[in-house]
Structure 1
Amino acid sequence: MQSRHELRQLIRQRRQQLSTQQQQQAAEQLAERFTALPFLADCQHIALYLSNDAELDTWPLIHALWQLGKQLYLPLLHPVTPGHLIFQHFHANTPMRANRFGIPEPDWSCPDLCPVAQLDLICTPLVAFDASGNRLGMGGGFYDRTLANAPLRSRDGQPRVIGLAHACQQVPAVPVEEWDVPLPAICTPTQIFLP
């Protein structure tokens, strides 16, 4: 089995090799598949992220969810608890800035913050995944730490956390560490995984 570092490099290269047309088509297909999820009707407050490093483009999904009247939230690096994320309301006119990794995030606004427990659905990025819901992130552990004590499913068993990825990011098995938080659902442009 490949090391986590080697797997991360391989899959990042794989998604970076997708053409602009393939990226655009995948993003549109993801928006269609995601908005057809049966449990989406019960989700009003949804956390997403802005794509980086050839991740699946979330903008078509963001626009589709706004059209459905959903309230969207983006992650920010937690200013007090290092290594954790917080989520802030995101709309078309939200002022943005680059965080220390160069990733756009909303300008800090305390009244617009939403506790993790009040989010109906959290969409996470990932580098690689397997059919069992194991997720390999970029290596910082931000989502793992943020979600470690959060319920991953609602009371009725519906996913509260879902990973988003290109189909080419699926691998036979992700090497798992004790701190990894497996996902109850993963959505690609071509398939929904509900391990």
Structure 2
Amino acid sequence: MTNKPQGDLRAQLRTKLRAARRQLTPDQQQQAAMKVSTHLLQQDYVQSASTVAVYLASDGEIDLTPFIEQLWLQSKLVVVPVISSQQQGKMCFVPYQAESILVNNKYGIAEPAYSPENKITLADIDVICVPLVGFDSNGQRIGMGGGFYDRILAPWFEGQLPHLQPVGVAHDCQYQANLPAATWDIPLPVVITPSKLWQFSTPTV
């Protein structure tokens, strides 16, 4: 568990980096979205994927709409996260289509309606695009603080889902040389920014 000074530092970094991405202009955001989409579509694991998990952008995150639209054109199944209203801290994935009706969850993030019948398990997902607040030269990531993606990625990190390819998505301004890591943080093997594809050593438990 993080000690208090480290926790304070993470909170300060989270505030700083969220502010930095929110300060990007609409044109900068649009250019970033197009460049990241191009990078993602060029990856072999995306080209061969049948099901791709994405996120619906908020709070200055890179908008994956251009990428999502190309996935639809390629007849891939696109799924997005839904935060459980019954189980605290739990998140699952459901299909996302152009006609999906969206509602905002308790964090103000858009989600399609959830029902147990349309839940997609991690075993059925080939690529998962992971939003983040900051990342460093070791693939360490800090998110919004809820731990949702750390819990989702834990089985992959433990070797239970070798087929799954996690990919962090971030603006260039979200890079930090070193981030203070917590014991529950799951490092990423790849992060894609508008200017660069970052690849890290495959993490192991």
Per-residue CA shift, 1:38-75, capped at 9, x if unaligned? 22222110110100001111111111211222110010
Aligned to 1:187: 192
Q: 1:117 touches 1:150 (CA, 8 Å); kept in 2?
A: no
Report the counterpart of residue 169 of structure 1 in structure 2: 174
1:45-64 to 2 correspondence within 5 Å? Answer: 45-64=51-70
AA at the equivalent of 1:137: G
**1:13 corresponding residue in structure 2:** 19
User: Retained in 1: the 8 A contact 2:126–2:164?
Assistant: no
Superposed displacement of residue 150, structure 1: 2.9
> Following TM superposition, by how much is the alpha carbon of 1:152 offset from its aligned partner in structure 2, in angstroms?
7.9
SS at match of 2:155: coil
How far did residue 160 of structure 1 move?
Answer: 1.1
Percent of aligned pairs with the same amino acid: 36
Distance in 2 between residues matched to 1:138 and 1:187, nearest whole Å? 18
What is the rounded CA distance, in whole Å, between the counterparts of 1:81 and 1:14 in structure 2? 32
Match of 2:129 in 1: 123
Question: Is the 1:84–1:143 contact (alpha carbons within 8 Å) kept by the matching residues of 2?
Answer: no
How big is each residue's C-alpha offset from its partner over 1:62-114, in whole Å with a ceiling of 9 and x where there is no partner? 11211222110010012443212100011111121111111110111322210
Please say if residues 152 and 159 of structure 1, whose CA atoms lie closer than 8 Å, have aligned partners that are also in contact.
no
Q: Any unmatched runs of 5+ in structure 2?
A: 1-5, 201-205
CA shift for structure 1 position 127: 0.3
What is the SS of the residue equivalent to 1:149?
A: helix
Which of 101, 107, 114 pairs up with 2:113?
107
**Is 123-132 or 71-80 further displaced after alignment?**
71-80
- Asked if the contact 1:151–1:160 (Cα under 8 Å) also holds between the matched residues in 2, the reply is no
Give the secondary-structure state (helix, strand or coil) at the position aligned to 1:88. strand
In structure 2, distance between residues paired with 1:149 and 1:79: 22
- Where 1:54 maps in the other structure, the secondary structure is coil
Q: Which amino acid aligns with 2:194?
A: P
TM-score w.r.t. the length of structure 1 is 0.92
Q: What residue ranges of structure 1 are gaps of 5+ in the alignment?
A: none
State the aligned residue count. Answer: 193
